[in-house]
Amino acid sequence: MAMGRLSLASAPFLRPLVLRSHVVSPIPKARTPPRCGFASTAFKLIPTGDKCSPNVLYETLEGVERIEHYRPGGYHPIQIGDHLHGRYQVIHKLGHGSYSTTWLARDDQNNKYVAVKICTSDSDPKEASILTTLTRPHYPATSHPGKTMLPSILDSLSIHGPNGEHICYVTSPARASLSDLKDGSWLRLFQLDVARAFAAQLVLAVDYIHTREFIHGDIHMGNILLKTSRGIDQLSPEQLYEKYGAPELDPVVHLDGKPLPPGVPSHGIAPIWLGEPSEKVTLPEARILLADFGEAFSSKETRYLSHTPLVNRPPEARFEPNKPLSFSSDIWTLACTIWTIIAQRPLFEGFLATEDYMTREHVDTLGILPPEWWKRWEARPESFTEDGRPIKRNPYRSWGDRFEDSVQQPRQEVGMPLFDAEERDAILEMLRPMLAFRPEQRSTTKQVLESEWMVKWALSEYEKIRRG
């Protein structure tokens, strides 16, 4: 039987804890309940596990990363109160992903809060290198506004622990991902001005990345972060706990009663919730960072496999597996993400869906695949006639249907303003060429920025924030 959860809420800051110092050397969220068995983070969506799996060794903890991933090559165990690099004191957890955990820490030197991302020891350290390249202060393109929408690396370090050597880097903290903000809301909608500003900033960020000849490779709502306000640094750790909640420590219990291995933490910690329901975000707050460059790569590299979530994954990853991914692959995922920003539901829906199901969603929405793809799709006769008519599905959800039932109707039902007909047409006119099946026919980021919706509606909202 697991012991009761511990909380630091009523105790003086860190007094009951024994502080540990890690030997380190220089080297180059918001708490929400998981939905449907997944933990939403700023970096990835990964399964939280279940006790039916033969690979589960520990009792599953709600909102906490898989404890099984604390193993040689995996996560590094962290406790609240740990000091990293002689200056960063761990205050709370921000989130976790497939290849990292991220912690809220207080920088003793600058008296500010920072995010410390601690990578698994078997992860590829290229993310920090790419971010350093993209945010280098003296690059000629520093005037590009999209650069300010990427997280700058403030410091880097390494930790030698029981599970190996871990590369870590320090950035400014974020409040939550846009996915988290939606998960914290019953409505799952942003106000119109906020949605426009988010979309404009996201396109500017991707345009900057493409200008620098990089491909992000993993654009989705979980990787878009809401910046913190400057006022957070004025809060002491005690005040931060009072406002947002202290860490709650859930004991880690081995299912067979064995003692915990040295690389496994004694307690799991769910992330802090610094966000707010999506509809409560105001335009002055609507400043974003595009994060998680773990799948990013230079356009000079050759990459074939896409790890983007299936609902956002570009179709060429399935039908042209021998052709490398490109800037156009980002454009598809960018369009899907813009839709999810303005809508209540994704454009292509399919929780735990198969590739065949997602392809059916693509055809329902966008029409018949290119002829050579259409012929190779073995499951096509189960859903469509040869000329593209749906089989045993009446009605199916077309492009127009999806805008009405995912964007307009949910807003109307709760009394939020709607997109008028002119703006709706401009949105669809921008998105449709971004979602061309053939990658070479898709818009570029420059063309997206020049679209009517971007110029007339989205960028004008971003300018209000920039001038504010």
Calpha distance 231→228 (Å, rounded): 8
Q: Where are the alpha helices (DSSP H) in 212-294?
A: 237-244
Q: Given a cut of 80, is residue 7 above it in pLDDT?
A: no
Residues 362, 354 contacting (CB under 8 angstroms): no
Q: In the chain, pLDDT over 70 holds for what percent of residues?
A: 87
Reading the block at residue 252, the tokens are: 């880690």
pLDDT, average across residues 364-386: 95
Residue 157 banded pLDDT, cuts 50, 70, 90 = very high
Rg (alpha carbons) of the chain, rounded to whole number: 23
DSSP 428-448: HHHHHHHT-SSGGGSPPHHHH
268's tokens: 């799991």
Q: Considering the entire predicted model, what is its pTM?
A: 0.86
Q: How confident is the model at residue 2 (pLDDT cuts 50, 70, 90)?
A: very low
List 41's β-bridge partners, or say none: none
**DSSP-assigned letter for residue 368:** P
Please write down the HEC assignment for all residues of 36-98. Answer: CCEEECCCCEEECCCCCCCCCCECCCCCCCCHHHCCCCCCCCCCCCCEECCCEEEEEEEEEEC
Q: Which two tokens stand for residue 171?
A: 């950035």
Backbone phi, psi, residue 101, to 5°: -120, 150
What is the spatial distance between Cα 244 and Cα 330, in angstroms, rounded to a whole number? 35
Across the chain, what does the average pLDDT equal? 87
pLDDT at residue 4 in the model: 55
Which residues are annotated binding-site positions? 117
Residue with the bigger pLDDT between 379 and 31: it is: 379
Q: DSSP labels for 193-223?
A: HHHHHHHHHHHHHHHHHHHTTEE----SGGG
Best CA proximity match to 338, nearest among 203, 146, 169: 203
* Tokens, residue 443: 């818009």
Q: Supply the DSSP symbol for 284.
A: G
Using CB atoms within 10 A of its CB, is residue 79 exposed (0-12), middle (13-18) or buried (19+)?
A: middle
Q: Is the pLDDT of residue 97 over 90?
A: no
Q: Is the model's pLDDT at 207 over the cut of 70?
A: yes
pLDDT in tens, 15-61: 333 333 333 333 333 334 333 222 233 333 333 334 334 578 999 99
Domains 59-172+229-273 and 174-228+276-467 equal at CATH topology level: no
| Beta bridge pairs of residue 101 | 96, 118
What kind and span of H or E run contains 422?
helix 421-434
Long-range contacts of the stretch 184-188 (C-beta < 8 A, 24+): 184/30, 184/32, 184/273, 184/275, 184/276, 184/277, 184/278, 185/277, 185/278, 185/279, 185/280, 186/277, 187/277, 187/278, 187/279, 187/344, 187/410, 187/414, 187/416, 188/278, 188/344, 188/345, 188/410
Question: Binding-site residues for ATP, please?
Answer: 117
User: ω into residue 54 within 30 of 0, thus cis?
Assistant: no
Could you tell me the fold of the domain covering 59-172+229-273?
Phosphorylase Kinase; domain 1 (3.30.200)
- pLDDT for residue 301 is more than 70: yes
- Taking 70 as the threshold, does the pLDDT of residue 305 lie above it? yes
Closest C-alpha among 189, 223, 278 to residue 45: 223
Give the three-state DSSP class for 175. strand
Q: Which residue, among 44, 37, 58, has the nearest Cα to 266 in the 3D structure?
A: 58
Fold that domain 174-228+276-467 belongs to in CATH: Transferase(Phosphotransferase); domain 1 (1.10.510)
Give residues with Cβ within 8 angstroms of 376, minimum separation 6: 319
140 pLDDT band, cuts 50/70/90, is: low
Q: How far is 268 from 78, CA to CA, in rounded Å?
A: 9
Q: Where are the domains of the chain?
A: 59-172+229-273, 174-228+276-467
C-beta of residue 31 within 8 angstroms of C-beta of residue 275: no
Nearest to 448 by CA among 464, 427, 468: 427
| Residues making up the chain, counted from first to last | 468
Asked whether the predicted pLDDT for residue 138 surpasses 70, the reply is: no
